[in-house]
Each structure stands twice: as structure tokens, then as C-alpha cells.
Structure 1
Amino acid sequence: MALFDLPLDELRAYRSESAEPEDFDTFWEKTLQEAREHDLDARFEPVETGLTTIEVYDVTFAGFGGHPVKGWLRLPAGATEPLPLVVEFLGYGGGRGLPHESLLWASTGRAHFLMDTRGQGSTWGGGGDTADPVGSAPAYPGYMTRGIDAPENYYYRRVITDGVRAVEAARSHPLTDATRTVVLGDSQGGGLSIAVGGLVPDLVAVAPNVPFLCDFPRAVTLTDRHPYREIGLFLKTHRERAAEVRRTLSYFDGVHFAARGRAPALFSAALEDQTCPPSTVFAAFNAWGHEDKTIDVYDFNDHEGGGPFHEAARVRWLRSYA
């Protein structure tokens, strides 16, 4: 696919027209306050993997509504002092996989906490283990329209809250250094890292890779690809609900979380990416609230972005922060 979005010079100046709700901060303060009324109850059970350089713990903690959320904590073998902490969120449809997967960040000498995404984990990878016990009104298949009738009911209210609680759970382990916490992820995981980066004020770095969940007004009208297309197909049937849907999505738009970002950030965008169009990524990047921010651009790539090249770039970049 050739370039289909704005030219790069226009992307660097692009600003989203997404309207921020007046009660955005109140909504999220109330949401997190309600979640914290439940005991975090973070449990770390050692897992026998046969690995000699990495130790793995099967993690359970209380997320939104006190619901149990799973994860993996991976540590360099033999660690005795608190380590810089990387909290990672997953791409759409994936789960935490198997304990011997995703060894990069622990191999750099950091603690690595990988959060399972509730209700997902059956599209790619090694599977997921976290249920989403909350139902919703009629929705299009997928996750994008579950509970889209109201912000209080929306699926991503639960997932983003789980993300904040994942940071709290990871920080509760004695071998993680809470003062050196990074959040990152690819695609959906990148969008979640932006949201958590806007809600957790004391992170040292945020690294969203080709992030999803940004600039909804443009994304849902620009690309025919799923997952954004789920919203358009829902509205194709529910023609009278467009304003209601726009209102709900405004509480979850990465652009608004980005404006509250208080940590250095490394973004990435791919100019042929039709899944997360580059203008939607630049919308969040340009709104990011911390002046120390960089975006790596991959001119001829689709949603794979920089792939292993960007992994290496993130490893190099994080040396300055954690």
C-alpha cells in the first residue's frame, strides 16, 4: 500500500479535532478511586520454565471492579536489588502467552511485567487467561463497541483501569524499583501505554509503538481496516447512535490522555499503516504533554512499523531513563 494519509510535513503539524469532555479528569479520578476500593491483592507465584537466565512469576491482581487480572513478571535470574521496571501492554486480540515468551526486557537487566488483556487472547500468540465478566448491550463482534452506549459501560474503561492497577501491582514486588517505571506497548498496547501515561504521573518514560486508540474522529472515517472498522460497521446498523458513540469514545481517546503525559516519550509511526493511520499517531504525539518527546517514522512500512529495528531503538532510548 502506498502512502494514503497526510504528507509528513503536515503530519508533524497535525492536531486532532477530537473534543475533550469537560468532566474527563473527574470521570477518570472517580473510575480509579472506585477501583482502588478493592484490595490490590497482587500475588506472585514462581513458575518452573527450564530457563536459566530469567525467573518468571505468574501474577494475579485485582483490576477494574476487583476482577482478577493475570500477568507475567520476568526478572533476571539471581536479582537481589530492586530493578528498573518495564510494564508492557499487548496488541489487540493477544494474550499474555506462555511463560517462556517475551524475554527481551528482562534480558536487558530490567524487571518486566506483561499484563494480560481481559477478554482477549484468542486471536494470535500463546493465548490469554483473563476473563471479562462484564457484559454489554448489543455490539459488533470484537471489543471496540462493547458497552459503547455510555462511557461508564465501555470496555476500555475496564482495560485502561486494569493498566493502571498493573503498574501498581508490578511496583508492589520487592525486586522492582517504583521510581524507575516505564510503560510501553505496540498497537493496542501503545494506546494503553498512552492512557496509563496520562493517568500515572510519576513514570520515567513512555514508549508507544504504532499506537491504537488515538484520534477516534479521524480514525473511524479514514481507514477501512479493523479494529477501527468495527465502530463504522456498528453505526452502519445503529444509524441513530453516532453522537452517543462519539461522546463515549471521547473519554478514551489517546489524544486527551497524551495531553496529560508527564514523562519523556518515544513514539513510532509507519506511513503506510492503515490499521493505525499515521495522522492518528501524530495527533497523540503532538498533544503529548512533556517536552522531551521523539517520534521515529518508518516511511515504507505498514502496521509492523519498525519491527525489530524499533525494538532495538527502544532498548537504546531507554538507557537514558531506566
Structure 2
Amino acid sequence: MTAPSADPGRRVFEEHRRLLFSVAYRLLGSAADAEDAVQDSWLKWSAADRSHVADPKTYLTRIVSNLALEQLRSARHKRELYVGPWLPEPILTAGDTAEAVVDAESVSTALLVVLETLSPLERAVFVLREVFGFGHAEIAEAVERSETAVRQAAHRARAHVRARRPRFTADRSRQREVTERFLAATAGGDVNALMELLSPDVTLWTDGGGKVRQALRPVTGADRVAAWFAALGGVTYQGVDPADMRADLVEVNGGPGVVFRAPGRVIATLTFDFGADGRITALHNVANPDKLRAVSEGTAYDVGTR
């Protein structure tokens, strides 16, 4: 008996699934929400009349972008009421993605934090144009706006991001070296060693979401941030004794990061932003358990743009 042929619509969708997740995650800053948007995209795609779809990639991108835009608009009010700083949900990323500096930068925690300050339309236009290289006409179709409106949004978004996120050539080996030294200094409670690795105006952002005790405001200055981390080795955190806590250096959001584990669970992640001199300019600490599910599952996402 001959096996039934695979659904061609499903096959086409699966070919673009990684792209759809990559777009949705950069738009939403949440792996769980991005997965929901991808699943909803499949439902819309499977129910659509595809006989006149000339370019499935653009068509599917339009579906997932609009779904993500709807989620963004509904999420803005919730994020305004969020307890403490709101940080994106961290994800483990695949090593081959990290080899491409552009891909790594575009999924970094630091850039996602900047994208959070854009309007939903500006964010969508920036991601589709600057990260994925879609043309203005394609984006206009995807977000259902005029091409003129898209060009204006692209200009505003680009200027906003550049003002808050200066670009420089990242030395990935230097980043990893500094991260390793930072971990060693933290474990040893060595304030002086930490001070050498931190920029004078370094900022620590902590996200506990009101569910885990964290700083409700950014911690600024090398002396304060160094003291914060030097003390970690001697205090109980979330009921976990320091001797029972493990810190693993892994790739998080396209760069070197740290996953803090207690027996049977992940309790926090830490990602870094680096200056042109290789010193740490910002740290992003996520401890809200609702945002640690993707890391806890151990899935490494391929969020490349090609």
C-alpha cells in the first residue's frame, strides 16, 4: 500500500518555521510568545487559499508579523505595570549563529531592550528591514501600511536605535575571556578583579518580575556592581546555599552568558554588554521564573537571519 504524500502546505511552512520564530522572537522578546505566534501562523496558513500565493516566505512573514504586532500592542499595558525592570526572555542560542556577528548582535539582550522602547510598528519595520533585509514594499505589505509610512518608521527607528546602541566590531574571544574572568572573580568575591572588568558607568539590570527578590531599580557604577557580585558567593539566594549553586558559561542570546542552577532548576541567567575596550558596560540578570522556561528546557535556538 502506498503511503500518502506529505501535505505540501505543511512542508512549505516547515521550511520557513525557523525564520518565523526568528522574526517573532525579535519582535516580542519572548520565546513562549514567539512559539505561540508561529503556531497561530500555521493555523492561518493551513486555512488560507494558497493557490494565489506567489511568495510563501513573504506571505508567512506577513502573517507572523501581524500576529506579533497584535501581541505587542496588548502587552504594552502589562509591561507598564511590571514590577521592576522588564527584560526579554533569555534563550540559549546555537553556536553556528554566534559565528555571524550581525545575527548575534540582532538577538542580543542589549538590542532587544532598546527595541522595547520603539512603537510596535517601528519595531516591526526595524526588525524586518535592518535584521532580515526585507525591502520597504515587502514590509509595507507585511505590516499593512503604506510604503511611505514604512520608510518614515524605518528612519525613526534606525535613528532611535543608533542613538542608544552604538555599533562597533565585537571581539568574541575577548568577550568570552572577560566573562570567564568575571565568573572567577565573582566566585572568589574579588572586588578588585571585578572592578578591572567593569566600565566605570556600568549598569546592572535585574528582572525578578515581583516573584523573586531583585533590585527594583538599575544598579549603576563599577563599585556598586562589583560589590553586588562579590557578595554572591556568601549569601543564600532563593533558598539555595552558595555551595549548592552552579554557574555554567553558555551561549545566551548570541553571546557568552551565564546560567545559574540549583539542584533540579534554573534560578537565573546573566548576559553582558561590552564596550569597545572589552570591558563590561551592562549586565542583564533575569530571575523571574516565568522567563526561564526556555533555558530550563535546554533547547538551543537557531535564530539566524538567513
**Shorter chain as normaliser: what TM range?**
under 0.3
| TM-score normalised over the length of structure 2 | 0.26
| TM-score normalised over the length of structure 1 | 0.25
Structure of greater relative contact order (alpha carbons < 8 Å, 6+ residues apart): 2
